[in-house]
């Protein structure tokens, strides 16, 4: 059965709020915690470094992942490998995605390739066998709380078609403006992982995650029936 995962982004929460947010996310039943590391260069804002997931690692049983919105992602892999199990690097920041993926995998971490809105799927279609996941940005990278550009879900459909045609195993994550109200749309286009910040933490996380699960349930069930028939 296809099970869509919900990953909670902590971007936008103050540091003092983080231990409580981890507890709430775990109680709400999210599948992972998503750390957005940005350097004020690839993005216009600066968030935090690899020290943050490391500092928080002991406070949660949840899987941690890092989304590197930085111009030199390779400088972060080693330190992050001690606290996260997945690293997304941006296609726009590396010369050879296959080499980056291998460097991440050599550290025992799962490599993911992230695409900014302006980056076409065609530019990375030859690299998809080297990564475990592809993250499709649905907003300009950097800040939480932006509205999803739903036209970018065409990239999810495109990736899903390539995956099926070529028999590849990468998962597809969507990030930016993902809310309970548009989760079904993203999932029906082929997204396996929904990354959400304000969609979870702007209100009651428990309730938000329930709403996410309810809205994607039909997609999960339809896929189960498709597989069974």
Interface ranges with ligand DX5 (CB under 6 A): 9, 11, 34, 36, 67, 139, 141-146, 175-178, 195-199
| Partner interacting with residue 142 (select from ligand DX5, Zn ion, none; CB below 5-8 Å by kind) | ligand DX5
Closer residue to ligand DX5, CB minimum distance, 77 or 201:
201
Question: Among all residues, whose Cβ is closest to Zn ion?
Answer: 67
Give the start-end residues of each E strand in the chain.
5-9, 32-38, 63-69, 86-90, 110-115, 133-137, 171-175, 193-196
Binding mask 173-202 for Zn ion (x = CB under 5 A): --x---------------------------
86 binding Zn ion? (CB under 5 A): no
How many contiguous H segments (helices) and E segments (strands) does the chain have?
8, 8
Instruction: Decide if 154 is catalytic.
Output: no
The residues, ordered by sequence, that sit 6+ positions from 120 with a Cβ below 8 Å of its Cβ are 155
Closer residue to ligand DX5, CB minimum distance, 180 or 199:
199
| Partner interacting with residue 189 (select from Zn ion, ligand DX5, none; CB below 5-8 Å by kind) | none
Cα 23 to chain centroid, rounded: 20
Instruction: Decide if 175 is catalytic.
Output: yes
CA distance 67 to 175: 10
CA distance 179 to 220: 17
Min CB(216)–ligand DX5 separation in Å = 15
Q: What are phi and psi of 39, to 5 degrees?
A: -110, 5
Min CB(65)–ligand DX5 separation in Å = 10
Helix 153-166 crosses helix 180-188 at what angle (to 10 degrees)?
30
Selected catalytic residue, list 31, 36, 192, 226: 36
DSSP 8-class letter at 65: E
CB 67 within 8 A of CB 88: yes
Q: Other C-beta atoms within 10 Å of 203: how many?
A: 11
Question: Among all residues, whose Cβ is closest to ligand DX5?
Answer: 197
Closer residue to ligand DX5, CB minimum distance, 146 or 157:
146
67 binding Zn ion? (CB under 5 A): yes
Question: Which residues are part of the catalytic machinery?
Answer: 36, 175
Q: Which residues bind Zn ion (CB under 5 A)?
A: 36, 67, 175
């Amino acid at each position: 059965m296809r099970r869509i995962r919900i990953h909670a982004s902590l971007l936008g929460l103050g540091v003092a709020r983080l231990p409580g947010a981890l507890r709430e996310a775990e109680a709400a039943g999210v599948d992972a915690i998503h750390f957005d590391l940005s350097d004020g260069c690839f993005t216009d804002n600066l968030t935090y470094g690899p020290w943050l997931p490391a500092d928080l690692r002991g406070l949660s049983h949840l899987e941690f992942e890092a989304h590197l919105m930085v111009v030199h992602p390779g400088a972060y892999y080693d330190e992050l490998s001690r606290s996260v199990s997945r690293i997304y690097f941006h296609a726009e920041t590396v010369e050879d995605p296959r080499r980056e993926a291998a460097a991440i995998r050599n550290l025992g971490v799962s490599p993911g390739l992230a695409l900014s809105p302006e980056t076409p799927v065609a530019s990375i279609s030859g690299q998809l066998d080297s990564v475990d996941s592809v993250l499709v940005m649905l907003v300009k990278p950097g800040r939480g709380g932006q509205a999803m550009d739903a036209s970018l879900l065409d990239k999810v459909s495109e990736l899903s078609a390539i995956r099926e045609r070529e028999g590849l195993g990468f998962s597809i994550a969507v990030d930016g403006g993902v809310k309970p109200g548009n989760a079904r749309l993203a999932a029906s286009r082929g997204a396996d992982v929904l990354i959400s910040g304000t969609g979870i933490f702007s209100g009651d996380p428990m309730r938000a995650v329930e709403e996410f699960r309810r809205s994607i349930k039909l997609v999960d069930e339809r896929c189960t029936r498709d597989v069974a028939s």
